[in-house]
Amino acid sequence: MNKNVLVVGGAGYIGSHTTLVLQEAGYTAIVYDNFSAGHRDACFGADLVEGDLADTAKLTQTMRQFDIGSVIHFAALIEAGQSVITPLPFFHNNVAGTLSLLDAMNAAGVSKLVFSSTAAVYGNRTDTALLGEDLPRTPINPYGDSKAMVETVLEACAAAHGLQAIALRYFNACGADAQGRCGERHDPETHLIPLILQAALGQRPDIKIYGTDYDTPDGTCIRDYIHVSDLALGHVAAVGHLLENETPGCTSINLGTGSGQSVRQVVEAVKRISGRDFSVIEHPRRAGDPAALVADVARAQAVLGWQARYSTLETIVRDAWNFACKAG
């Protein structure tokens, strides 16, 4: 069994946690990153190749040099709001970049891929709050479109030339390594929990809640928050599944908890765990925000034998708070 894994985008938030967990699980992780968003100090001694996703020749050379057996692909632009304003970079990087990676895999004879997808492929669904993988892909922004397009490409490649792929659809990634070795360091930051932590640390004047009149117990949106260490373990499980099987195909799998927390619950958890008070400003709803989005996680358990271990709200906020305090 070839346990050499190329982690493309492995210096980023989820990629760095996955690199760490891969190594702890006995895999050899090779990080490939252009450091447009990643951090050199988050590679944890893994062999590092600095390169761009569009550089097919360098990707091919890297796979051959390190005798890669499987690839995990994290290298994407992820800001959904920005994708509406400037869509072309999202299609260039997320779609064309993935085509470059697939060309390199073909050239190097690598057929196993774990793809970082997203719950954004489900779009703004109001007919169900529990999202299963067999629902149609109906994204509502260019970011979600780009991920859905890649899933379509992977399905075609599986049918045409034997690609084995798993598309892991994340829900709300959050938290940090429990030992504080890595955590969330986006610039600019747009994710809810680190924004609330910044308010608790006095790094921003307030936290804004968009919509308090939803049909939920406290009127604020409910989301499925998944600890980044659980996401990392999901990727390790997906790599193991691909290495143990030779059947071509592309399987989409949700990574979430199967339950949700409201925005107001998250705010109160940060106040409780940090011991800090801060200003909370209520604003009207944002267009396109559904009341509740929660993952159906049955397939992850059935196919990968995976379920969330660390994704209680208390654990997520505590780990994220400890990392934020350490990072300053």
**Residues annotated as part of the active site:** 143
Alpha-carbon distance 111 to 296, whole Å?
28
Buried/exposed code over 96-105 (b: 16+ C-beta within 10 A; e: otherwise)? ebbbbbbebb
| 8 A C-beta contact, residue 12 and residue 187 | no
CB-side exposure of 230: number of CA atoms within 13 Å? 29
Q: What's the DSSP call for residue 41? A: G
Residues pairing with 252 in the sheet: 167
Alpha-carbon distance 255 to 313, whole Å?
16
Structure tokens at 25: 């699980």
Residue 4: other Cβ atoms inside 10 A: 16
Buried/exposed code over 108-133 (b: 16+ C-beta within 10 A; e: otherwise)? bebbbbbbbbbbbbbbeeeeebbbeb
Q: 7 — phi, psi (to 5°)?
A: -105, 100
Nearest to 269 by CA among 254, 280, 285: 280
